[in-house]
Amino acid sequence: MKIINTKDVNFKSEFDGILARAKSDIKGVSTIVMNIIDEIVQEGNTALKRHIEKFDKWEVKSDVDLMINPDDMKKAYDNIDEKLRDALHIAYNRIKTYHEKQLPKSWIDFESNGTILGQKVTPVDRAGLYIPGGKAAYPSSLLMNAIPAIVAGVKEIVVCTPTPDNEVNELLLAACHLCGIKKAYKVGGASAIAAMAYGTQTIPKVDVITGPGNIFVATAKKLVFGEVNIDMIAGPSEIGILADETAKPHYLAIDLLSQAEHDEMASSIMITTCEEVAQLTSNEVEEYLKNLSRETIARKSIEDRGAIIVASSMEEALELMNEIAPEHLEVMTKNPFELLPFIKHAGAIFLGENTPEPIGDYLAGPNHTLPTGSTAKFYSPLNVENFMKKSSIINFSKNAINELGEACALLADTEGLTAHAKAVRVRLEK
């Protein structure tokens, strides 16, 4: 694994390359995606069937074929291994408990002049969840997207997932049953995003779309934003690790690979203050790679987009990691909580050697749908509020309008909005 030192003469250019890790060719695929969206808008299910036959390689004979039968979800749930079913329940309960703590509250405030102000929080009516398929199926993503919607109180949840060769992952079906999903469809890619954003004869239009996907899915979400709300524009998975001389190289190495095995575009970046730890970790990465089931994918990710940076101090390491703003950040130091106040930008922070990133992927509780590509500088993890909206509440008494009305009208006068000013002044006592 590539090792670079902050003292190297070419470090800045190397680091700039790391910061550019998430630049994806959205512009390059926008025309393709826009055409897909237009076809869905104009033709609905007819276009959906054509896209499925082209991309997922199976013939859709009727609109019913687009749907996943809830009975199949129940059957899959009943048939999975008991220990696996128990694991799903553990994950479900922990994720639900965590997200229940996020629930925002409506509130009302009363002022002395009779003014009543407040905020009303309500869930969206219908949420659309995109669950990736293709190279791998992710039942955990179903839990992470469905549970905050359930906690928020969303009444109708729509799931879309690609089914290459018309095969649906059994564990995904079981997770759908556990989450009480009634409407799920065998549709993937940009077609699924367009179908949920605009609606078709079979798939209902939703209010918000969440869930990760490839470049086509990300581009489609960007293009339909405004027609619906979205969670974020997510790119390939990534991990950052802060390590000092106490960190165990074999832990560091396998944790770096836990992201590299996602796909060739994933990024695994470690910053350490110890050159020996850097070298030993690099060696361990090579040893682990030889025995990974997804070695080819992980190796390409590590070679093309992985790096170990040796920093001169932990202060420098923190500064660099805040610039990277990784999706997942592990802190593998002697006293990890001491660094927490200095971490400004990260999707999820894993503290200590017993907290590997995968524990967050599945059942720690916090959401694993996280901002990537430095967008942790301004995005948050998927949460209950993604499925809710806020309305302001305003009520003025006669005393309140008399007390504050003229100041309001004066501001309206200044902006040249005569009717605004008049609408206030006609209510003022002479």
Tokens representing 27? 């512009």
Spot the catalytic one: 51, 177, 328, 368.
328
Asked whether 347 and 376 are in contact (CB, 8 A), the reply is yes
> Rounded to the nearest 10 degrees, what angle do helices 139-152 and 82-100 cross at?
40
- E strand map for 133-245: 156-160, 183-185, 208-210, 229-230, 238-243
CA-closest candidate to residue 359, choices 183, 146, 45, 95: 95
420 is in an annotated binding site: yes
Buried b / exposed e along 93-124 (16+ C-beta atoms within 10 A): ebbbebbeebeeeeeeeeeeeebeeeeebebb
Strand order in the sheet with 306-310: 3-5, 306-310, 267-272, 238-243, 328-332, 348-351
Spot the catalytic one: 39, 284, 327, 330.
327
Whether residue 328 lies in the annotated active site? yes
- Residue by residue, DSSP assigns 349-370 as EEESTT--HHHHHHTSSS-S--
Q: How far apart are CA 194 and CA 197, in angstroms?
A: 5
Whether residue 338 lies in the annotated active site? no
* Helix H or strand E encompassing 221: helix 215-224
* Helix H or strand E encompassing 394: strand 388-395
CA-closest candidate to residue 356, choices 385, 328, 383, 336: 328
Helices (H), 363-425: 398-414, 418-425
Q: How far apart are CA 194 and CA 216, in angstroms?
A: 11
User: DSSP state, 427?
Assistant: T
415 is in an annotated binding site: yes
Tokens representing 379? 């995005």
Q: Classify residue 5 by burial, with Cβ atoms within 10 Å: 0-12, 13-18, 19+.
A: middle
- E strand map for 93-205: 107-110, 116-123, 126-130, 156-160, 183-185
Would you state the torsion angle of the CA atoms of residues 383, 301, 172, 39, taken in this order, to the nearest 10 degrees?
A: 80
42 is in an annotated binding site: no
63 is in an annotated binding site: no
261 is in an annotated binding site: no
Strands 156-160 and 126-130: parallel
Please give the positions annotated as active site. 327-328
Provide the annotated binding site for substrate. Answer: 237, 259, 262, 328, 361, 415, 420
Binding residues: 237, 259, 262, 328, 361, 415, 420
Annotated binding-site residues for Zn(2+) read 259, 262, 361, 420
